[in-house]
Chains A and B, each alone.
Chain A
Amino acid sequence: MELIVALAVGVLTAAAIYLILRLRTFPVVLGTAMLSYAVNIFLFATGRLAINQPAVLLTGGPYADPLPQALVLTAIVIAFGMTAVVVMLALGAYLESGTDEIDMKDETKGDRT
């Protein structure tokens, strides 16, 4: 199971970074969203994995580590806030400049690729 979670983290990270390195804003936004998935799972995994042991005090234990879960819960919500702001920034930049490229063009030295 640990291997599967680790693979999931790796796959998500690789895809996220590839998207973040694209040249247009929208793939970058998707990339940051995917990167937050990866980071959240990673943080969650620091509490080690447990099956059928939710930290709800009814079964008498043992319980999964509740602390990383609490941290990740807030992280998920903050990631939403961040994605929302970033996509609005991307939208604003596109509407202002008419292009959704993420690299600035150097006007004195001509375009860069």
Chain B
Amino acid sequence: MSLVLIAALPFIGALFPGLMIRAGRNACAMMTGSFTLLALILLLIEAPAVLQGEVIRNQISWIPSLGLHANFFLDGLGLLFAGMILGIGLLVILYARFYLYKTDPMGQFYTYLMLFQGAMVGIVLSDNILLLLIFWELTSLSSFLLIGYWKHLPEGRQGARMALAVTGGGGLALIGGMLLLGGIVGSYDMTVILQSRDVIQASPWYLPALLLILLGCFTKSAQFPFHFWLPHAMAAPTPVSAYLHSATMVKAGLFLMARLWPVLAGTDAWFYIVGITGLITMVLGAVIALFKDDLKALLAFSTVSHLGLITMLLGFGTAEAAVVAVFHIINHATFKAALFMTAGIVDHEAHTRDIKRLGGLRHLMPITFTIATIAALSMAGIPLLNGFLSKEMMLEEAAHTDIWVGIFATLGALFSVAYSFRFIAHTFLGPKRDDYPGHPHDPGFGLWAAPAFLAVLVVIIGILPQTVVGALVAATSGAVIQAELPYYSLQLWHGVTPALFMSIIAVVGGVLVLMSFRRMEGVWNALPRPEAKTIFDWIVEGIAGASRRLTDALHDGAISRYLMIFAATAVITGVVSFMGGTHAAGTHQLLPAGPMAIIGLLLLTVASLGVVLFHRNRLLSLVIISVNGLVISLGFVYLSAPDLALTQLTVEVVTIILLLLALNFLPKETPRESTMGRKWRDGIVSVAAGIAVGGLAYALMARDLAFQSISQFHLDQSYPGGGGTNVVNVILVDFRGYDTFGEIIVLGIAALAIYALTQTLLHGRASRRLMEIGKGIKRDGDRHPLMLVVATRVMMPIAVMVGVYIFLRGHNEPGGGFVAGLVVSIALLMQYMASGFAWAQARQRADYHAIIASGVLIAAATGVGAWFADRPFLTSAFGYFQIPPMDKFELATAMAFDLGVFLAVVGSVMLALASLSRLARRAGETVNDTPMDIDPSKTTEEAR
């Protein structure tokens, strides 16, 4: 399990910096570092076995159905990268502790850094390519946060965005490539993939997979033509540059190319794409680096160049070149991280990174100068330092590959020498100046300790390569090549070889170039060069503009247009798919149509037409629409659905009252605005939809069920299982009780939403407009007529009794909580209408919110009760009881559930109406003290 722990430790560590920062910056850094250190120690414990050639595996099945396993493995390649990530990570944590300014939020920084570290470790240890992809995306995201860490700097934000766009876009391509690769092999496990070289290279999908994977690797590793994001990412704090942009993240692409080298390399496509891309990147990066005045930009382009070098070596596809690539990965990580850190020190102390404003620092910063010189000489490939060794070997491989490759590689090396020397000469050498923006001096030990450690590595690897890293190079190369290692020797002196001459040419040429730097710079500056950022911004702007135009065109805020398109599309799709199939006539036995049914249909048609024709007169259309509801209720009665009929009828009443109340505050007329063309268009769409839906309904009803429905089960079990004879009610409160439970919650939420909406309307603009409207409302002189008041008072107990009756019989005969709730609501409503809302409410203490809540809670409690009997939620129980001299009667827990439904319905309906009446009060409706406007006990004179 140690591998899982190694990958998890940085993530766990990411949780702490934000808290530990309260204990001080040292405590914060130490806490963070301890997690990295622990992971590094765990890794080193495994190291001896891995160096012996063992592969260590940890496997956890995560989502097996997707082929996603949290499998980790550690071989030589993983060991090298994990070691680099954790080792340099530790140094960077130390360095950042002293680098970050007092005003920088350090906790945040370390959290991002640890997230990144964990994601990186995850990439290099994953044995499952899907898992790898997840970590890959995580590195893009965490590096976005790190690059944009200084949020106040626009360059930081833009650089972060650019890096995310390029590497994230490449990541998408990589996902595609990896899925193709997994598809070819039939497994997403890296170990299996690595053994399937022949299958992969023979597959017709090899080339697409290769291209997509390389797109991911090239963007991540800043290869031409995607190299432009890396220099812009230099807006990040220097510890980030040292960590992400030299040692780790940009090497993720190299890692993946090395990881998949055994199965992807060796083809012509691989050789030309990878080799030539690497070569171009190497030369181009080196040339641009020479002319950069910003220390970090210089180092950024030199990194681009060295990444190109390694890519090129991998691209050669030979085992020897792969060994050199591995060796150079190690060397580059050591000297380049050290260089970034020294550049950071210079920036930190001299307050500028502009080479033109520096020079002569060797007197002021001797320690920094020493470290920087060692690292830069290594970068230039000067003997006794590790950069020399791998560069010699690289030149050797290049010379063997092709004469032109050799020439260009030498050219790249030449410029590498030139910019390395420029880094030293123009920063540290020369006369001391007196116009530095800051007061440069060597920093404290904390800041130079990390680069110094790396510089020591540079030297000892350079002198004793075989002793220090021989085993690591062998183990790593073995993992990359997955075969017998070729002959190679890590040593200083290889004898008089072509590489030696190329090296000498490079060094001498480099010095000559630097000596004529002024003249060359003039030429360089006169050359027209495409500015990558401008092109990138232009592309981004273009894409953003195009999508904005598309969005504007499609989404213009006219909802009537969307609805029209939606309706038309639905109809067309339906018709097309209907035409695409074959259809036999239905065999279902049709029912005869009686005269009542025909009259009902006629009424319905007339009413529907009436609503459409008179819809501009809103009150009239509301009255007509209620005819529809009544006809439908009758239809339900006729078609053996008494429960539906009851529900429809009561709902109809409540809905119409609600709409009437709302109409009070809305315009009473709909203006004529639709053009004739629009009416025709809408008419055609709606008639087509009507024909389609009606036809579908007919086709459905004229056919028998395609397969046995589950309805028979409900009919059979209703009485023995649910204890009720009204199957519809038993389904609602028992079989499908869970659905009903959800539904009353939805109803309660709807009522609460109405309440909340009302609450907002009682303030500000809406409230003022409401008062304005209130002034225009014509009020009847007798708003609470005597007849209505008396009639509703008389009806109230009867209506409530009917409600109770319907509730109680619901389990066995048509009725139940829904209908009973609506009936009681209507009875209450009538009181409100008769005597005014405020008057009625003053005589009724219950809070509607509480009624809704108690309804939901009672229903829930009934369901929970089943747990105590060791049954699943909402299992109902029932029994028959007899209290003499009454008849035997039934009690079922379902009845308590139905009570919950009842209360939720009453509460919701009443809350909705109460909300509307609050609006009415705001609109100026007065509260009367008496139940009716005219007190019949007084004479007319007294009343006046």
Contact = CB atoms under 8 A, between A and B. Distances in A.
B53 to A, nearest CB: 66
A94 B732 contact: no
B905 A15 contact: no
Given A30-B621, A69-B644, A19 B611 contact: yes
Contact of A38 (B693, B719, B728, B732): B693
Interface stretch (B130-138, B191-199, B653-661): B653-661
Contact of B685 (A17, A63, A80): A17
Interface in A37-69: 37-38, 40-42, 44-58, 61, 63-67, 69
B563 A69 contact: no
Contact of B687 (A14, A51, A56): A14
A104 B560 CA distance: 10
Given A18-B612, A104-B558, A73 B728 contact: yes
A26 to B, nearest CB: 5
Interface in B849-894: none
B728 A98 contact: no
Interface string B559-598: 1110110010000000000000000000010111110011
B690 interface: yes
Interface in A70-111: 70, 72-74, 76-85, 87-92, 94-96, 98, 100, 102-106
Contact of A102 (B556, B559, B605, B675): B559
A21 B682 contact: yes
Contacts of B615: 19, 22, 27, 30
Contacts of A21: 560, 563-564, 567, 682, 685-686
Q: Classify chain B's interface size.
A: 35 or more
B662 A66 contact: no
A55 B621 contact: no
B645 to A, nearest CB: 10
Interface size class of A (residues with CB under 8 A): 35 or more
B740 A6 contact: no
Nearest to A57: B725
A8 to B, nearest CB: 5
A8 B609 contact: no
B701 A2 contact: yes
B711 A17 contact: no
Given A12-B608, A77-B818, A6 B625 contact: no
Contacts of A26: 618, 663, 666-667, 670
B698 A80 contact: no
A63 B751 CA distance: 36
B769 interface: yes
B239 interface: no
Interface in B785-828: 812-814, 818
Given A11-B605, A18-B683, A22-B670, A69 B643 contact: yes
A12 B604 contact: yes
Nearest to B621: A30
Given A98-B769, A106-B557, 11 more contacts: A8-B601, A10-B694, A10-B695, A16-B686, A21-B563, A44-B636, A70-B731, A81-B908, A87-B658, A87-B662, A92-B760
18 contacts: A1-B593, A1-B594, A13-B690, A14-B690, A17-B689, A22-B670, A23-B560, A41-B632, A65-B709, A73-B732, A80-B654, A82-B750, A84-B655, A88-B753, A91-B919, A96-B761, A96-B769, A100-B667
Q: Which 5 A-B pairs have the closest CB atoms?
A: A10-B694, A14-B690, A104-B557, A6-B698, A95-B766
Interface of B: 556-561, 563-564, 567, 588, 590-594, 597-598, 600-601, 604-605, 608-609, 611-612, 615, 618, 621-622, 625, 628-629, 632, 635-636, 638-644, 647-648, 651, 654-655, 658-659, 662-663, 665-667, 670-671, 673-675, 682-683, 685-687, 689-691, 693-698, 700-702, 705, 709-711, 714-715, 718-719, 725-728, 731-732, 736, 739-740, 743, 746-747, 750-751, 753-754, 757-758, 760-761, 765-767, 769-770, 812-814, 818, 905, 908, 912, 915-916, 919
